[in-house]
Amino acid sequence: MAFFQAPVLLHAQTDNSTSGNLTDMLNASEPSGAHEPVTGTFKTTRIINGQSVETTGKGVLDFKISHRFGSIDGGVKQFFGLDGAVTQLGFDYGITRGLTVGVSRSTYNKEYEGYVKAKILAQTEDNHIPVTLDYVGAISTQSDAAPDLGTGVEYKFAYRNCYVNQILIARKFNNEFSLQLMPTIIHYNLVPLDVDPNNVLAVGIGGRAKLSNRISLTAEYYYQIPGYKLTDTKNSLSVGIDIETGGHVFQLFFTNSTGITERAFIGQTSDSWSKGQIHFGFNISRIFQIVKPKEFEGSRNSIY
């Protein structure tokens, strides 16, 4: 375990003198105690494409806009990826300081997703608990036109659905470096080929290196287990930077994945870095405090 150690009145606030930064807002309702939990393992609830161990604070709404341009190898004809872009809008909400729920809608296969993230362990400053451990469970449904499965074969609604289960294990080694592992299983009710498995197994690794108080370098890679992957798919690799400005975090990156949900970018990536099939993308995260935590009532040292 020594390898790892982590985790308005509706209005938006960007004044750092009273609101603190986005990390403060994400962890707005962390309690005090003998074993203080580590905060700011990552800047937001996503490393790049994949989930991080960060959860939104109790009563906090995190609005996310995610965008992936087409592959830059399309050249001028595709305006270097501008054509064929994919967009997703999502909302994450903190039920408690360790329980987040989220919903999203993506233009990729007109996909809807709902998920829950539950914190099982939280890394502490005194190393009493050396890692942060989260569980993520998600279900996604594609709403685009039904494909033709052949004469007499009915395309059932269940075929549209996919289920994701993940364990996130992260350690914040110091203020400059954090690392996370993400063992993942994805179940597809319908797969493209008879030889394809319904269960895709993958192990992800992601990290964050702090460059300044506002800027961090990020990277993540998902390795699909041979024999438990769809035919002709590639492993997802992404590198980028996080830029924090008050209540916003801008994530700018390059990736070989087009889809944005775990179903799509882990199990259905078909593009390759070695062939120049690279996509520029960005995520924008904006925090709103919907319910004021009781521990901040009457205090000026709150997120307002």
Domains and CATH numbers, the chain: 16-144+156-296 (2.40.160.40)
- State the residue for tokens 């269960």: 199
Show pLDDT as tens, one digit a residue, over the chain (304 residues): 444 443 333 333 334 433 345 555 555 545 555 789 999 999 999 999 999 999 999 999 999 999 999 887 666 565 555 667 899 999 999 999 999 999 999 999 999 999 999 999 999 999 999 999 999 999 999 988 777 777 677 888 899 999 999 999 999 999 999 999 999 999 999 999 999 999 999 999 999 999 999 999 999 999 999 999 999 999 999 999 999 987 788 999 999 999 999 999 999 999 999 998 999 999 999 989 888 766 544 443 333 2
Contact call for residues 63 and 79 (beta carbons, < 8 A): no
- The identity of residue 126, as a single letter, is D
Rounded Cα distance between 187 and 199, Å, is 5
Looking at residue 145, what is its pLDDT?
A: 78
Q: For 232-281, how does the pLDDT look when each residue is reduced to its tens digit (9 = 90+)?
A: 999 999 999 999 987 788 999 999 999 999 999 999 999 999 998 999 99
pTM attached to this predicted model: 0.83
Query: Which pLDDT score, from 0 to 100, does residue 245 have?
Result: 86
The span from the CA of 124 to the CA of 131, in Å, is 8
Supply the pLDDT for residue 28: 53
Contact 39, 21 (CB under 8 A): no
Bridge-based pairing of strands 132-142 and 248-255 is: unpaired
SS (H, E, C) 215-275: EEEEEEEEEECCCCCCCCCCCEEEEEEEEEECCEEEEEEEECCCCCCHHHHCCCCCCCHHH
Please name the residue that has the structure tokens 């075929």.
159
Is the CB of residue 264 less than 8 Å from the CB of residue 279? no
